[in-house]
Amino acid sequence: MSEHFQLIKKDAETGARRGRLKTLHGAIETPIFMPVGTQATVKGLTPRQIKEDVGAQIILGNTYHLNLRPGSELIRDAGGLHKFMSWDGPILTDSGGFQAFSLAKLSKLTEEGVAFQSHLDGSKVFLGPREVMTIQANLGSDIAMVIDECPPYPCKKDDCVKAVERTTRWAKACKEIATDNGFLGSGHHVFAIAQGSEFEDLRRRSAEELAELDFPGYAIGGVSVGEPEPEMLKQVRATAPFLPEDKPRYTMGLGTPPQMLKMIAAGVDMFDCVLPSRVARNGAFFTPDGMKNIRNSRFATDLKPLVVGMENYTCRNFTRAYLRHLTMAKEMLSCTLLTLHNLHFYLNLMEQARARIEAGDFSRWSASWIERYEAGEK
């Protein structure tokens, strides 16, 4: 067993695991969802709301964005990202290469890394293993991600082989850099990212090559890049079993509530997704009967909370009619209250999943949870 990750219970019927991951800013109970705070803020919420009302245990930040603005040296000089944004819980940061490719202008990938023009002012920027590990050390991330090459979907097998091989080389370089600069070894973690697109043999190869390098944790990348949901789940299931059992596993950028339950059953421990916070800004909210939109006229005179009996600040204090009024009037409090509800809904689902794994009835519970949710979406 690894020192920083404790497997508390393994589900007898599925691959689900109940675990505990120790970080420099406290322990994380898994399975867990991590709210996304790309720009050193979970949009619309104060850190106190994120902690006390949402119940988040860990949040995400992003190397790509924070390096461009305000710059990682400024954040380092301000005492690190935790102090800069006044969040004292754990922070995981993505490495930035993936975003450089999807967001920047004119990005060019070479063996050294990704050269691109900033989407903000067109300035030339380069991110390779040394840059991403230095930036994440400046930020003081509890969990830093390696730089990886995420092939597009679909892609040719030859190109995917090259991406998998480069991803392993870059992971190795990142680990060496983080060891030499003292980041690893002082309680910070670095997670590797497995790729392989839709090719099951390459998914396995990527997972096994990275497992060999003995990282503190592992992510499954290259999912949710345009493939249909069954394909996404197939890729997660083709990767997870080949990652070390005694290390945390994280799928990047996913998912919906049913997808997360299915991935927990496949042995995944950590998730992040912009979905709950992004859709809240458009009036959507989560319920056990699916996602609804508060703009719908049927909520105009509805004096019930978003979810009856749900214990969060939004549901305890506000009616659907009031929240619809705020949304229609484009009041910013609507974004705050719906974001708070949606993130709490996600965190609460993870809490239920943990309890069911511990109780030994995860499989039955999750099947009926998904059935009700999907029936409500129809």
Q: Which is nearer to ligand GUN, 21 or 127 (CB)?
A: 127
CA distance between the termini of the chain? 44
Q: Judged by CB under 6 A, does residue 318 bind ligand GUN?
A: no
Provide, rounded to whole angstroms, the least separation between the CB of residue 193 and ligand GUN: 5
Buried-state track 107-129, b at ≥16 Cβ within 10 A, e below 16 = beeeeebbbbbbeeeeeebebbb
Q: Which is nearer to ligand GUN, 64 or 362 (CB)?
A: 64
DSSP code at position 146: P
Q: Which is nearer to ligand GUN, 221 or 305 (CB)?
A: 221
> Annotated catalytic, 94?
yes
Q: Which is nearer to ligand GUN, 98 or 362 (CB)?
A: 98
> Annotated catalytic, 246?
no
Report the site for ligand GUN in 284-303 (rule: CB under 6 A).
Answer: none
CA distance 35 to 28: 13
Q: What mask, x for binding ligand GUN by CB under 6 A, covers residues 228 to 267?
A: ------------------------xx--------------
Q: Which of 59, 81, 150, 174 binds ligand GUN (CB under 6 A)?
A: 150
Report the site for ligand GUN in 71-110 (rule: CB under 6 A).
Answer: 94-95, 97-98
Largest CA distance in the chain: 62
Amino acid at residue number 345: F
Provide, rounded to whole angstroms, the least separation between the CB of residue 77 and ligand GUN: 26
Identified catalytic residue from 53, 142, 269, 272: 272
DSSP 249-300: EEETTB--HHHHHHHHHTT--EEE-SHHHHHHTTTEEEETTEEEETTSGGGT
Q: Is 40 left (phi over 0), alpha (psi -120 to 50) or beta?
A: left
Q: What mask, x for binding ligand GUN by CB under 6 A, covers residues 212 to 231?
A: ---------xx---------
Answer whether 191's CB lies under 8 Å from 217's CB: yes
User: Interface residues with ligand GUN (CB under 6 A)?
Assistant: 94-95, 97-98, 145, 148, 150, 193, 221-222, 252-253
Q: Which residues are catalytic?
A: 94, 272
